[in-house]
Chain A
Amino acid sequence: MYNKGLIIPGLIIFVLLVTFPLWFNAFSKASAVPKPDLPPGGEKECVAPLAVIRASHMALLNEWRDDVLRNNDRVAVTVAGKQYRKGLQTACMQCHSNKEKFCDSCHAYASVKPYCWDCHLTATDVAKKKETH
């Protein structure tokens, strides 16, 4: 092989450069899977099993929205003996009051930007208004 001394180191450098994102993320903290904070109130039970919530909480929210707004089905959901009104604000965020440490941790990781909180209020929003007035 001609120019062995140039080609082989060149190839090695090329492969290293191309795979840079892989090994960089493997050794850096950037890839740490987010660990959302559990409800501050210490609730252990959710409206559905963990796997279902993780995979399709957005579908559930859409269903609830249509039930409440369109189908006039406002039947409360009961979790661990406590009743919640269907809805992001009235059910989910009653326990998960820490949106910044719960919702945002995964959404930021997955780079999804749901517009729920353009309208729905978080505990922080409500507290902020109370401070200024």
Chain B
Amino acid sequence: MDKQRRKFLKIAGATALAGISAPVVVKLTSSPALASSEHGEVAEHGAATHGEANQAEGHGAEQAPQGVRLGMLIDMRRLYGRPDLLEKAKAACHKVHNVPDIGNTKSEIKWIWPAPFENVFPEHSSYHESKITKENNFLALCNHCNEPPCVRVCPTKATFRVEANGIVAMDFHRCIGCRFCMMGCPYGARSFNWKDPRPYIKEYNPDFPTRMRGVVEKCNFCGERLALGQEPACLEAVKEVGAIVFGDLNDPDSEIRQRLDEEHTIQRKPSLGTKPSVFYIV
């Protein structure tokens, strides 16, 4: 009897030991593979930091781009001193998309709007700013970020990134009006319909729906116009000065990429890592 208990305790002890040490053994045997992959990552990282000195800007150091990523370049130099053109771009967009003009800043709906430099680029110093930046407004709109925070927070997937073209789109049918996306968006690009927008729309565009009370809306990069082979409405409105360039950021031969390669551009709040697809020349 005593002997049997002794034997039992021995076996139990050995089993427990084997059980505890099993993960260690597994880790040890698989360690070469792990180590090599870690090493590779470090090397990649090193190369990236070496190649892109300006990593904080968020322009480069992205993974190899895949597919189409539509983007916009706004050459503000061509819009300085032309507040009429900014208003024209806004009016064109808002007319095409049946955006109401409510008339007070609390419940206003905006897809594209002119705003002062320090509001559009709060990360850029506006201390002792030049006369031109002080006196001019800048065009702000949804940045169609590559890492859109609004999409991350949407509980119903009413807003999402269209994989085929990189547009951050909305499905108004699905929006429950929780306004998480408005909290998520660091650019204030989203507006909430506090009331029925229809009485505030001057003239309907019969090609596009309106919205109802209780949904969020924003710029859609004119997805419906692109499908018809047309250009975004804002681009068309300021065509006379050619201030806006629109195209595929991932296509090295596109006009927008060539302009980006040529000129120094800035993005809004690059440090947040949202990777905006709207670029500015100021």
The main secondary structure of chain B at its interface with chain A is: loop
Query: Is B171's CB within 8 Å of the partner chain A?
Result: yes
Distance, CA A115 to CA B212, complexed state (A): 10
Stretch of B21-29, B31-39, B78-86, B158-166 contacting A (4+ beta carbons < 8 Å):
B158-166
Query: Is B131's CB within 8 Å of the partner chain A?
Result: no
Given the known interface contacts A72-B165, A74-B227, A89-B209, the answer about A119 and B172 at a Cβ–Cβ threshold of 8 Å is yes
Query: Is B218's CB within 8 Å of the partner chain A?
Result: no
User: Per a CB cutoff under 8 Å, which of B169, B198, B203, B206 touches A89?
Assistant: B206
Distance, CA A129 to CA B198, complexed state (A): 10
Using C-beta atoms within 8 Å of the partner chain, give the interface range for chain B.
20 to 34
Q: How many residues of A contact B (CB 8 A)?
A: 20
Query: Is A113's CB within 8 Å of the partner chain B?
Result: no
> Which of chain A's residues have a CB closer than 8 A to the CB of B210?
119-121
Nearest CB of B to A90, in Å: 7
Whether the Cβ atoms of B173 and A70 lie closer than 8 Å is no
User: Per a CB cutoff under 8 Å, which of B160, B165, B209, B228 touches A70?
Assistant: B160
User: Per a CB cutoff under 8 Å, which of A69, A85, A129, A133 touches B169?
Assistant: A69
Would you list 26 pairs from A and B whose C-beta atoms are within 8 A, ordered by A residue? A65-B171, A69-B169, A69-B170, A70-B160, A70-B169, A72-B162, A85-B227, A115-B212, A119-B172, A119-B209, A119-B210, A119-B211, A119-B212, A120-B209, A120-B210, A121-B209, A121-B210, A123-B206, A125-B198, A125-B204, A126-B204, A129-B201, A129-B204, A130-B203, A133-B202, A133-B203
Interface residues of B (CB under 8 A from A): 98, 160, 162-165, 169-173, 198, 201-204, 206-212, 224, 227-228
Interface residues of A (CB under 8 A from B): 65, 69-72, 74, 85, 89-90, 115, 118-121, 123, 125-126, 129-130, 133
